[in-house]
Amino acid sequence: MRAGHLLLMAYSSRILSGTGAPAAIMAGRGRMLTQRIRPRPASWAQTRARIRKRWLQPLVAFDWCWQWLAWALAHWSFLEVLEYLGSFSVLIGVIFWFAESGARVQQRHDAAWQVINTAQGKGGSGGRIEALQALNADHIALVGVDVSSAFLQGVRLRNARLARANFNAADMRDSNISDADLSWANLQSANFRNSTLENVDFSNADLSDADFVGADLRGSRLTSVDLENTDLRGANLSGVAWDHIANIRGANIAGVKAAPPGFVSWALAQGAIQKP
């Protein structure tokens, strides 16, 4: 029985140390009783015979009383039962901790969406960078999210599902949205300077008047996109799918890097400009 008790405590300890369980459970584990076999104390006559100095006798008597009390309690089965119950309470706490994990995750997602929706249409960040990144890290689709006019500089949303999202006039400088789905999204007048947008699907998106100066657009899909008056100076266009761009009038393609063969001449023929 003692071996089973020790195994239970060890198993509970391993689970608690790796799951971020509540401090109350951890504290409860630390307060559990531990019994040990105590030898029977000597009689008072034997103890008093060993006292060499008379003035020590009250102190020794006080300690001798506590020795007998500790010995008596060590043989009280009720305390051992309480110790086992304490171990089971830890195990029950662990079970409830895991059972409620889904509810805690949902609460975290609801809080993140509340931050995003409350700040909708407003400038500044308002905690939206952290909220968007948290949702994306949990693989939550951000389809149709509205972050227009938001300050989201440096946001990291790799592999995000952002179809039909509204980034109108948003400040997205130095962001990383590689491998994301931005099809049918509104990026009009958004600032993506020096952003990493590798392998992004921009199909049917509105990129008009947007700023992509120095952006990394390698491998991105530009099928049916609107690039009217878009600033693409110095952007990396290596491997972009550009065959079916809907509109590129007024787009500034000065200094574009690694442009696919025929892209520059085609763009200029469609009304693009090269203005340093």
The fold adopted by the segment(s) 108-276 is Pectate Lyase C-like (2.160.20)
Q: What is the pLDDT of residues 96-139, one digit of tens each?
A: 667 767 778 899 999 999 999 999 988 889 899 999 999 999 99
pLDDT, position 111? 96
Is the pLDDT reported for residue 77 higher than 80? no
pLDDT, position 33? 47
Q: Give 224 or 70, the one with higher predicted confidence.
A: 224
Residues 6+ apart with CB under 8 A from 153: 171, 172, 173, 174, 175
Q: How far is CA 241 from the centre of its chain?
A: 33
CA distances for 172 relative to 85, 151, 164, 167, angstroms:
56, 7, 17, 9
Q: Give 63 or 18, the one with higher predicted confidence.
A: 63
Res. 37 pLDDT band, cuts 50 70 90: low
pLDDT, position 97? 64
Q: What is the pLDDT of residues 195-243, one digit of tens each?
A: 999 999 999 999 999 999 999 999 999 999 999 999 999 999 999 999 9
CA distances for 21 relative to 18, 69, 99, 103, 213, angstroms:
8, 36, 12, 15, 47
How many residues can be counted in the chain? 276
Res. 8 pLDDT band, cuts 50 70 90: very low
Domain ranges of the chain: 2-99, 108-276
* pTM summary value: 0.67
Q: What is the pLDDT of residues 127-182, one digit of tens each?
A: 999 999 999 999 999 999 999 999 999 999 999 999 999 999 999 999 999 999 99
